Amino acid sequence: MRISKWLKVVVLVALSITISNNTATACDVCGCSVGGNYFGILPHFHQNFIGVRYQNRSFISEHLTLFPGEIPLKTQESFHTAELWGRYVPHPKVHLFAFVPYNQYTKDEEGVRSVVSGIGDISLMAHYIVFNTGNMDELTWKQALQIGSGIKLPTGKSDNIQEHSGLLIPSLQAGTGAVDIPFSMIYTLRNDQWGINAEANYRWNLINKRDYKFGDRISTSLRAFYWLGNDQFTLLPHLSVNYEYGFKDKSEGVEAEYTGSQSILAGAGLDFYFDRFIVNASYQLPLYQDIAQGQITGNPRFNVGIAYQF
For residue 226, the cross-strand partners are: 194
Q: Mean per-residue pLDDT for 250-262?
A: 88
Considering the entire predicted model, what is its pTM? 0.82
d(CA 60, CA 104): 17
pLDDT in tens, 148-176: 999 999 998 766 665 555 555 656 667 78
d(CA 218, CA 259): 15
Quote the pLDDT of residue 159.
65
- Ordered by where they begin, the domains of the chain are 2-309 (2.40.128.130)
Q: Where are the alpha helices (DSSP H) in the chain?
A: 2-26
pLDDT in tens, 36-79: 578 888 877 789 999 999 999 999 887 666 656 666 678 888 89
Chain center to CA of 172: 14
Q: Mean per-residue pLDDT for 216-237?
A: 93
